[in-house]
Amino acid sequence: MILLLASLGVALFYFSWVFKMVADWIHQYPLVKKLPGPKGLPVIGSVMDVIGDTTVPLLFFLDEAKKARARGEQTLTVNIIGRIMTLPLNGAMVKAIVESNDLMAKGKDYDFLSAWVGVDSILITSAEIWKDSRKRLTPMFHYTMLEGYMDTFNKHAHHMVEVLKKERLKGPVDMRNILKGSSLDIIVDTTMGCNFSFLTNPDHPYIHAVDTFTNYVQRHSMEPQMWINWIWFLFYHRECHNALNEMHKLTDEVLKGRANAVKTGDIDLDVKRKPLIDQFLVLEQQGKMSMKLVHFDINGVILGGHDTTSATLTWIFWSLACLPEMQQRCFEEIELIFGGDRDRDCTPEDLKELEYTDRFIKESMRMFAPAPLVQRGLQKDFQLGEAILPRGSDIFMNVFVIHHNEEVYPDNWQFDPDRFLPEEVAKRHPYDYIPFSAGIRNCLGQKFAMQEIKVIVATALRKFSFSTDRDLLDQGFATEVVLKPTNGCNLTVTPR
């Protein structure tokens, strides 16, 4: 009897799921067939065009966007096995999306992240809860707090220099691992108030767990077989679940230790500047947060604060190595600002004086958008330009596609920091450049990230030059949660 009831329950679940899919499609189809974009094959749409390694979908969208712009279109709609995705093709369309109060809901793929960061995370939560989440996190990124983080940024930047001194003796250095470890050390230090030395411990289980989970996030969005529950549980669930357990274990250990230290008086929560975890513990003591919410919010900040930053830095150092004349110009500017002192800490005032280096960083983030996809889910029909997008579909703001709009960025595969001279920026729509997303739900930590990036670049360039015999575009693009180079970032590191 129990088996029969269980079978009936499963059957009802799948029936309701199929019924919803059919109902959505009946509503969507009349609207979708009017939208500009590749029609693909019956039922499966363009799925055959995105199958392959992680570079394939990105190149497909770039090519289709170019065709759509040539036809005078401002949006592009693609069907992947009944999943309808619409891409804005210029800053004006991005503005209509990110400034709309009707498009506050994140897309379906963010649901996968909830197992790590919780359903109430600022990264994925509903519009109603998002406001409270942002209010909790905003104090961490206040300008007075950012100044306080400079000591942490400098400490880890100097540590990275010491590691590079040793690693360079072994031959070309894989900067991906160096920058990933350093970025993770910084975000864990600023959020949890502790140091696991991930930079010198690249085989730490937590690093492997994060890599495994974030890889599954992207694969789950683009590999339809993973959408079928029994296939997921049979072939993929165990590895992903083990990675999640490892990530949660570290957060739990730190949180319990920190909470106990507060109880014993070893940590004073009344100090003005304290790591995020202590700020949350104050709210927990006041009854404004549960320990579960503290746990998930910490995970959310770590996810948002290290992977994107390390990817950004990887592409910056790749660009510096491939473009030696521009690297020299950055170095000379930094030398002038620091008066030739190659050991002192960076200050906020130093960073403000970095003009050419700032433009170089921004051009790298244009060429190689570190967070290439931002999604919104449509809970009702929405008019975007001349297109009416159906409820149940998704908007994909493909940052890579926006940043390679040849109508805005002529010779868009040419690396040119002068695109970010004030007079050039003034010619563009402000949302034609969105490395940190934009609008109401933009990245809360963008100033934190830029400050960290500049400290690491200024510290490293004072000590070393970076080179490679490969060309800038001799690279593949892995579009996971962040954009990663598939052909490595092995650079020759030479002391100055």
Half-sphere exposure of residue 439, counting CA atoms within 13 Å on the CB side? 21
Q: 3-state DSSP call for residue 93?
A: helix
Dihedrals φ, ψ of 45, to 5°? 65, -130
**Residue 357: how many CB atoms within 10 A of its CB?**
26
- Do residues 78 and 116 make contact, with C-beta atoms less than 8 angstroms apart? no
The residue written with tokens 């910084």 in the block is 186
75: left (phi over 0), alpha (psi -120 to 50) or beta: beta
User: What is the DSSP secondary structure assignment for residue 169, as one 8-state letter?
Assistant: G
- Do residues 199 and 226 make contact, with C-beta atoms less than 8 angstroms apart? no
Distance between CA atoms of 213 and 195, rounded to whole angstroms?
22
List 483's β-bridge partners, or say none. Answer: 479
Half-sphere exposure of residue 449, counting CA atoms within 13 Å on the CB side? 24
- Do residues 275 and 190 make contact, with C-beta atoms less than 8 angstroms apart? yes
- Per DSSP, helices labelled H in 323-390 are 324-337, 348-353, 356-367
Query: Is residue 443 part of an annotated ligand binding site?
Result: yes
- Residue ranges at the known binding site for heme: 443
Residues at the annotated binding site? 443
